[in-house]
A and B are shown apart, each in its own frame.
Chain A
Amino acid sequence: MSQVDAPPIVELRDVDKRYGDGPLILDKVSLAAQRGDFITLIGPSGCGKSTILKLISGLTPISAGRIVVDGMDPASAVERLAFVFQEPTLLPWLNVSRNVEVPLRLHGTAAAKRAEIVKKSLALVRLADRTDYYPRQLSGGQKMRVSIARALSVSPRILLLDEPFAALDEITRNHLNEELLAIRQQLAWTAFFVTHSVAEAVFLSNRILVMSANPGRMHDELPVDLPYPRTEETRESTAYQKLVGEASRILRSVELLKS
């Protein structure tokens, strides 16, 4: 999926980040993502993984260094991006289909086009039969799917996901992981994913970036060579379990660095 010769779709070079006069949250962080990568950021709490997503999306500016997103600065590139937050973050007063079309409405897309896109997006997350439901009538997993559908509705080139499945039980989480990859088969976006679950990181990504904390720095990278498409069978393969073990080991060593 990745094209090594093309320029990186997202690049951070020696990026520092602090809020106001506060402590340094990111210290000379560099990374480069190729088109089609699925990059997962893992690391101990406070290492700035979510902050990196915020920098890429332009929600907060860098303090030093350089950041290029799809050839532009993040603020200009924001239309090519979509963010899936930790909570489903749905508007509770709108039903499912109206929630999905929120970005389209804000952009001013015509009603007919909106309806078509919403239909497609909900089909992708397999919630086509719940269009009239309100968020309070949905389970946690369903709400998250709506959130993903909303993100997909803008046909993003870059998808940012900040621990989206953290609040769900393991079975639902595994299902959603598989669904996410299935969608990725159809729509070739580049993904940045943050999680605390090593197993999830290995299952989803082709590259795992491990960070250390206080301040946040890039510590190590673990390539994941498992072939796509990945299914539940992948989880049972030895290669997978070896990689999970490896990733856990690196994570542990990073955590020991703190102490």
Chain B
Amino acid sequence: MARILQPNGKLTRIRPSLRRGAALVAAALAAALPGCTRPAAQPPAGAAPLPKVRFKTDWYPQAEHGGFYQALARGFYREAGIDVEIIPGGPGVLVSQLILAGQADLAMGRSDDMIVWVSQGAPFVIVGVYMERDPQAILVHEDDPVRTFADLNGRTVMGVPGSNWIEYIKVHNHIDFRLIPSNFGIAQFMADKTFIQQCFVTNEPFFVRKNGGHPRTLLMSDSGFRPYRIIYTTQRYAREHPAEVRAFVAASLRGWDDFMNGDPSPGKALIAAGNESMSGAFMDYSIGAMRDGHIVAGKPGDGERLGLMTRRRLQEQVDDLAQLKIIPELIPVDKFARFDLMPAELQ
């Protein structure tokens, strides 16, 4: 029996009617037609055009965005009543600025960035969570003496300047190390056996191995710094388009569930179509890394599940950032997060 997402966010069972059936058939057809960012399915005859939602990602299409592309490829967004366009990001693209300028409606980001920006007065709000853990890590060579974060003391690390996580590592381990700006490549890492850099556990290790190297990672989720990977928008958009937001969040989570636990081929196909340099082997590696690291759904034993956002954890983040003096003072969780736009069972 089909389960359909209602505009109010509730997933309900419904008796298949002709209309719904037509939509289902259309969605099934869309799933069978890979290779387009906009599925060929038509809305049921006589229905009003679906509201458009533009979603901005933070990089070229990749497996770390898999759930969204899966949802698009399998028509989950259309079923939820919205017409989604996924706009890939890239180097030098300031996603937050595009949201502010109204050139995209929703975007992906991290909860710690959101807290910092909102404390500076930015009118953003978190509306959902798509990864329980952040996939970033510290990349070292296998033989490097660094085994724990504290071992980084006195070393040189290539990373993103201003990274909250880097500050956290330094302060919480009472260490210091040199930070040099990241060029987002692995050339220096491959050339220098003592090189250490920030990386994504779903990305750099694959290429290091491909080039004959032996990498090891220290995961952010093991460091004590625990941001969510989130979906966000402006306060105004959430206020004026709650239905679209709800639909997007719920369908995206459905897409992630399907991508990680079902057959990820539709999502992978869409990603490959949008990114020429993307290989199947690389995507499979990323998916495997996300699974091994419990990145998307977290560890149930730790009270984590796909899409769950807790006040307690967000408060913990605020406290961390205030302690690091990255934000001038504590801000209430409700200032930067809305819980009422997520699927009912997550609230």
Do any CB atoms of chain A lie under 8 A from CB atoms of chain B in the complex?
A: no
> Which residue numbers of B lie inside 8 Å of A, CB to CB?
none
Which A residues are closer than 8 A to B by beta carbons?
none
